[in-house]
Amino acid sequence: MSTHHDHLLYIEDLGVSFDGFKAVDGFNFYLDRDRVHVIIGPNGAGKTTVLDLICGKTKATSGTIKFNGRELRGMKEHRIVRAGVGRKFQNPSIYEGLSVIENLELSHPKGRGLFACLAFRRTPEITAEIEAVAADIGLLDQLDTEASILSHGQKQWLEIGMLLMQKPELVMLDEPVAGMSVKERAETAKLIKKIAQNRSVVVIEHDMEFVKEIADRVTVMHLGHVLAEGSMETVQQDPKVIEVYIGH
Ligand code: ADP
Ligand code: MG
């Protein structure tokens, strides 16, 4: 028997309904530390809603969400962020008019908010943190570049970098390679594996080649619940999965 002490994230019987429609229903999910866990499933399966429930954007109607043994259900979004959960949405939310370094700086826990930002001084320590993140996301030589002129892929990486500035223990990425070139996808796979060296990463993705490359574990969602779970090889061979998802 597993308990919530064994997992960074321990979700059981999670559910939410929208006007009687159960978008997520009896969803179980167990996330190990320092792993990349990918959630796949057809459109409308409830994948994005699961991330909304974890980060507190949507309130669950049933179940438990334990992060480091602590119940996230009922906690406010900003407190969930502070507890160590970082989440990237499908559309990047960077500040287009600011430079790469300014975007990263704004995401530093001490630089958050306009007032904090005015009083914020870039210490050597913070500069070193920013440069380390910029190196990880491949933007170290673009620190003074205005975000608006970055490529689509670079904007996505910058947003991942903005999450990393908060030193989350869990990073959740919703379709991070949508719209990316083949080369950018390969770079993103490397980046995800790198950031999972000392934290866990939950990724929602459709691109099966990409999933194969990054996933330590795969959960297949269908109609709001788990259809199959295991290694990529295991779930790929599951007849239920072939029927509802890969077969389409
Ligand atoms: P996925 O990310 O797997 O494609 P979603 O989680 O976005 O699926 O959506 C699951 C289902 O829940 C869909 O039928 C969607 O229309 C519905 N849904 C999601 N969010 C809301 C909401 N805030 N209000 C009403 N219905 C929603
Ligand atoms: Mg989605």
pLDDT, tens digit, 9 for 90 and up, residues 122-178: 788 889 999 999 999 999 999 999 999 999 999 999 999 999 999 999 999 999 999
Mean pLDDT of the chain: 91
Output 228 or 122, whichever has higher pLDDT.
228
Looking only at the bridges linking them, the beta strands covering 225-230 and 217-222 are: antiparallel
Residue 20 Cβ contacting ligand 1 at under 6 Å: no
Q: What is the mean pLDDT of residues 34-61?
A: 97
**Per-residue exposure over 204-242, b if at least 16 CB sit within 10 Å of its own CB, e if not:** bbebeebbebbbbbbbbbbebbebbbeebeebbebeebe
CA of 69 to the centre of ligand 2 (A): 27
Length of the chain (residues): 248
Calculate what percentage of the chain has a pLDDT beyond 90: 82
Please state whether 36 falls in left (phi above 0), alpha (psi between -120 and 50) or beta.
Answer: beta
Q: Is residue 23 lining ligand 1, measured as CB closer than 6 Å?
A: yes
Atom 20 of ligand 1, nearest CA residue:
49
Question: What pLDDT shows up at residue 122?
Answer: 74
- pTM, two decimals, is 0.92
CA of 195 to the centre of ligand 2 (A): 22
pLDDT digits (tens, 9 = 90+) for 197-227: 999 999 999 888 999 999 999 999 999 999 9
Strands 217-222 and 36-40: parallel
Residue nearest to atom 19 of ligand 1 (CA): 49
- Which tens digits make up the pLDDT trace of 175-192? 999 999 999 999 999 999
More confident residue, 117 or 129: 129
Nearest CA to ligand 1 atom 15: 44
